[in-house]
Amino acid sequence: MNLLIKNAHIIEEGTRKKVTIEIEHQCIKQITTENIEDLEDTVIIDAKNQLLIPGMVDVHIHGANNFDMMDGTTESIQVVSKKCAETGCTSFLVTSVSSSLESLLKMIRSTKEVIGKEEGAKIAGIHLEGPYLNVLKKGMQNEKYLRHPNFEEMDLIFKEAGDLIKMVTIAPELPGGIDLIHYLTKRNVVVAIAHSNATYEEATQAFEEGASHITHCFNAMPVIHHRAPGLVAAALENDGVSLQAIVDGVHLHPGIIRLMHKIKGPNKIVLTTDALQAMGVGDGDYVFGGHQVSVKEGIARLQDGTLASSTITMNRSLKLSSDFGIPLSDSIKMASTTPANILGLNSIGEIKEGYVADLVMLDDQFNVTQTIINGVVYS
């Protein structure tokens, strides 16, 4: 079924304008400021002057609605897929936490079963957050499962997952870390750094060898010091390195978000949720990554007070980014265009003729009023 969206507002080159969009065979056929008469065999959608943005892409999400995707079930992945769609995310990376090899392989198998049959947002691949992380910056990662790079293990993971692995977060300073970067980049994987105690020099070397992304920037890594600038300074200095930002009002001060934007611009910053299964549920007690996690006032923490992922959604993150002073056009790029580009998803992330019709309609409070995935209205 084809769609015709009328009275939609889009942001183009920083300017909001009213358009009509024709969607045919899953793709955007035409974008025009002219009126189009109603077409046969076409569903008409009146956007009522609401904002229409490209579907958002979450490169880092663990769970939602009481389901943790590391439980190894297809149900958990489908629940997250649906919650993503409800909150404006049309593509996501199924994201692991550090675990046993057996648990990781189980999650990969479940992902393979679901992909192509998603009930909501599309699976764009898998993000392995660990297990090759530094215990000194473990954050909420379970120390029991942290280990040094093991290439026999990686061979088994890739044998099971194939090209589904799109991003891997590592600590490059660990023994074998640089070799792991080479291993991953040869397989066209985005190598990200976090849960790392890397010095400025170690981080610089990692970037020279092929690492190109920072997971949840500023969190689970050394602070910037004027005599020991560390990983973050090396990343900010390197124009080729992109950064994840958890914009939830907790993980990053608004001033830091504005600084990241000022230095990197919207083409090198990615909004992400890093959400656990409390997303969409709220306060309470959970088990995540083998830890007891308490969520109070929407903030997830371990028993010792360590932050443990977030409960933010992509549409709320987009709103906060704008509230904190990032231009809306840039915030949209950070939520949609930039993550798609980093993952090499060249037909999504923008509202352009010929692109896949992954679109999200928002009211003036950034509530999602409609999600369209592959040209089909999600319900």
Q: What is the pLDDT of residues 117-146, one digit of tens each?
A: 999 999 999 999 999 999 999 999 999 999
% of the chain exceeding 70 in pLDDT: 100
Residue 92 is predicted with a pLDDT of 98
Residue 265 is predicted with a pLDDT of 98
C-alpha 23, offset from chain centre: 26
Look at residue 38 and tell me whether its pLDDT is greater than 80: no
**What three-state secondary structure class fits 367?**
coil
Q: Does the annotation count 274 as an active-site position?
A: yes
Q: Specify the DSSP class assigned to residue 63.
A: E
Cβ–Cβ under 8 Å, residues 7 and 39: no
Cβ–Cβ under 8 Å, residues 254 and 324: yes
Confidence of residue 230 (pLDDT cuts 50, 70, 90): very high
Residue 67 is predicted with a pLDDT of 97
Confidence of residue 40 (pLDDT cuts 50, 70, 90): confident
Q: Which of 337, 332, 369 is nearest to 8 (CA)?
A: 369
The residue from 58, 68, 274, 330 that is catalytic is 274
- Spell out the residues 6+ positions from residue 323 whose beta carbon is closer than 8 angstroms to its own: none
| Mean pLDDT value across residues 256-285 | 97
Look at residue 33 and tell me whether its pLDDT is greater than 90: yes
Look at residue 1 and tell me whether its pLDDT is greater than 90: no
State pTM to two decimals.
Answer: 0.97
pLDDT mean across residues, the chain: 97
Q: What would the two tokens of residue 163 be?
A: 């090209």
Residue 79 is predicted with a pLDDT of 98
Query: What count of other Cβ atoms lies within 10 Å of the Cβ of residue 346?
Result: 11
% of the chain exceeding 90 in pLDDT: 96
**Helix H or strand E segment including 8:** strand 2-12
**What three-state secondary structure class fits 373?**
strand
Look at residue 100 and tell me whether its pLDDT is greater than 90: yes
Look at residue 37 and tell me whether its pLDDT is greater than 90: no
Distance (Å, whole) CA 162 – CA 108: 10
- Spell out the residues 6+ positions from residue 228 whose beta carbon is closer than 8 angstroms to its own: 199, 200, 222
pLDDT tens for each residue of 157-179: 999 999 999 999 999 999 999 99
Q: What would the two tokens of residue 53 be?
A: 């943005």
Look at residue 209 and tell me whether its pLDDT is greater than 80: yes
| Mean pLDDT value across residues 61-88 | 97
